[in-house]
Structure 1
Amino acid sequence: MVITTAPGTRPRSGHPATPRPTGPPRTSLGRKVRDSLTGHAFLIGAVLCFAFFSWYPMVHGVVMSFQRTRRGVTTWVGWDNYTRIVADPSFGAAWKNTLTFTVLALVLGYAVPFFVAILLNEFRHAKGYLRALVYLPVMLPPASALFLFKFYAYDPSDAGLFNSILKALHLPTSQWMQSPGMTMPAMVLASTWMNMGGAVLIYLAALQSIPGELYEAAELDGAGIWRRIRHVTIPQTRLILALLAMLQIVATMQFFIEPLILANGAGAEDSATSVAYLIYQHGFFQNDLNGAAALGVIMLVVLAGFSAAYLRLSAKQD
């Protein structure tokens, strides 16, 4: 009997050639367990950090809101802290100022970054320089940026930047942070300048993902720039706009450093008191940690309601 073999192979006498496995190499059980343990170790570390620094303080704050601590003795008081906080005269003013700041921030701080991003997207030269210039305020410490506004831009004398501009235009000057009617718009303006860099970069990334053929088709149909923004840009960036709107609402309703630095806390006639600053005032000035916890829980419920409404609306749109 003659055994024929393929060229380049050596036959084994009396036994047929054993076929080699063609599938992917098998992974041993021990290696799978080691890889799984490594992934779970990183995951457990992240979960422990969130549990210790975020979830535990949140749960403990909810528990504290139903307690009262006097001279080291803690007792359960039910809803007493909530009724006492709601009856505080500053409670209504704080929520009014917070909602006013949120609405003004949506009108100014939400729209301005979007149109700045559209403007930067149209430039053909010095794009990197202009983006760095817009993002520069974000790299400044928030306290430094607000002190810059307080002592340089909002100086009530004629030496202030904004009053100098108004005087040059023969317009009446303003007391800015000392005027109850101008306190909130002034804080919104400073906050918008300080925080819009990140939103501008996100909008730029969304704008650059829009196919150019859509703009070319709109131009062939005779659409001007406003019609292109309305019928092409906004629909194509709808999801990013909705997401940043929700993040803006959550962030602006927790504004704290603006009244603390610009208005020295409450401002003239409580015109700058926010809910977050009222929590700080109860906890650190009045030594009322239980009342501060109750107010924090109220804010948590309100923000959770906004988030739930956003998720419901986005699910319907999808």
Structure 2
Amino acid sequence: MSSRSNWKQNVIGWVFAAPWTLIFLLFLLGPIVASLILSFTDFGLVNLANPFKLHFIGIQNYLRLFRDPLFLTAAFNTLYFVVVGVPLNVVLSLLLALGVNQGVSYLKSLFRVGYYLPVVTSIVALAVIWRYIYNPDVGLLNSFLHLFGLPGADWLGNPNLAMPAIIIMSVWHNMGSAMIIFLAGLQGIDKSLYEAANIDGAGIWGQFRSITLPLLRPVLLFVTVVTSIGFLQVFAEPFVMTNGGPLNRTLTVSIYLYQQGFSFFHQGYASAMAYVMFIAIVLFALVQFRLLRPQT
């Protein structure tokens, strides 16, 4: 009787899980498998009318990637964006969290909402606003510099300034979510540890180095990995603000993938690019786990 009851419970459980399982297989697992197959084919614009006329070409798409100068440029730009943007985002987020955590109690909620607001705002809308802020003629940034007699710049038109300008905008947009996570970690640290450190004569820096940072390492690992994954997939900011220019200085892998897949309809090549990007993200995350996890 008991086994029959368990069997009924299992069947009922699968019945309730079936809709989600079907949706997962159809809309998530299905496209993943399809794109993997496409990455080994020459699927392109011609095949949209007759998808069964595609040809399997093995790993030619993957080999082509590393001979494509535009892909190598996009990969370098993406790496530059991550190497500069992620540490900047993590450090500023941690400093903001420390400031909010030590601030006046009744203002904490106000600052939390204020810093988090850009995160929940449409990234496309924010990118358009920042494009006007960086406008060389009527932009807010140049107007502010002119007040102090400083020369303005063509922030998005200068090949040397375009990527740093986008990094600043992206860090501003993303640091609110990291700050909230750091703040939660800070509030979970036992206050008696700081009181004991004060009695022992430890200063602010000593308390941060000996108490705050070691206890925040799991949070730091999580924030760094999640931020890195997001920055490796950067698309909206450079796409809206510069469309990969000037001189391909802000062309990222995601933008180049989009161009190949949806502008030139090289779907097979774009699929291979997506899987190389996926492998890069996994390797990047594993390296960060290796560097930060031993001391957690």
Normalising by structure 2, what TM-score?
0.90
**Which structure 2 residues correspond to residues 134-173 of structure 1 after superposition, within 5 A?**
134-151=115-132, 153-157=133-137, 159-173=138-152
Q: Larger % of helix: which?
A: 2
Higher relative contact order (CA 8 A, sep 6+): 2
Q: 1:49 aligns with which of 19, 23, 31?
A: 23
Unaligned runs of 5+ in 1: 1-26
Question: Is 1:67 aligned to 2:32, yes or no?
Answer: no
Call closer, same or farther: CA 1:43–1:255 in 2, change over 3 Å: same
SS of residue paired to 1:181: coil
Q: Report the Cα distance in structure 1 between the residues aligned to 2:179 and 2:292, rounded to whole angstroms.
A: 22
Greater mean alpha carbon deviation, residues 35-44 or residues 278-287:
35-44
Q: How far is the alpha carbon of 1:58 from its aligned partner? A: 1.8
Question: Is 1:104 aligned to 2:78, yes or no?
Answer: no
Q: Report the Cα distance in structure 2 between the residues aligned to 1:232 and 1:195, rounded to whole angstroms.
A: 26
Q: Report the Cα distance in structure 1 between the residues aligned to 2:192 and 2:30, rounded to whole angstroms.
A: 51
**Which structure 2 residues correspond to residues 300-315 of structure 1 after superposition, within 5 A?**
300-312=278-290
Output one character per residue of 1:147-169: Cα deviation in whole Å (capped at 9) or x when no partner: 11111x11112x31211222223
Letter in 2 for 1:122: Q
Partner in structure 1 of residue 163 of structure 2 = 184
Q: 1:267 aligns with which of 245, 252, 267?
A: 245
SS of residue paired to 2:42: strand
Larger Rg belongs to: 1
On the 8 A contact 1:109/1:188 being kept in 2, the answer is no
Call closer, same or farther: CA 1:219–1:164 in 2, change over 3 Å: farther
Q: How far is the alpha carbon of 1:185 from its aligned partner? A: 1.2
Output one character per residue of 1:78-119: Cα deviation in whole Å (capped at 9) or x when no partner: 122223332222111101100000011122112111110110
Greater mean alpha carbon deviation, residues 288-297 or residues 222-231:
222-231
Partner in structure 2 of residue 250 of structure 1 = 229
Report sequence identity in percent: 31
On the 8 A contact 1:138/1:197 being kept in 2, the answer is yes
Q: Report the Cα distance in structure 2 between the residues aligned to 1:280 and 1:40, rounded to whole angstroms.
A: 38
Matched residue count = 289
Q: 2:198 aligns with which of 219, 239, 249?
A: 219
Q: How far is the alpha carbon of 1:205 from its aligned partner? A: 0.8
On the 8 A contact 1:178/1:268 being kept in 2, the answer is yes
Q: Report the Cα distance in structure 2 between the residues aligned to 1:105 and 1:42, rounded to whole angstroms.
A: 43
CA-based RMSD of the aligned residues comes to 2.0
Q: How far is the alpha carbon of 1:31 from its aligned partner? A: 4.7
Question: Is 1:299 aligned to 2:273, yes or no?
Answer: no
Unaligned runs of 5+ in 2: none
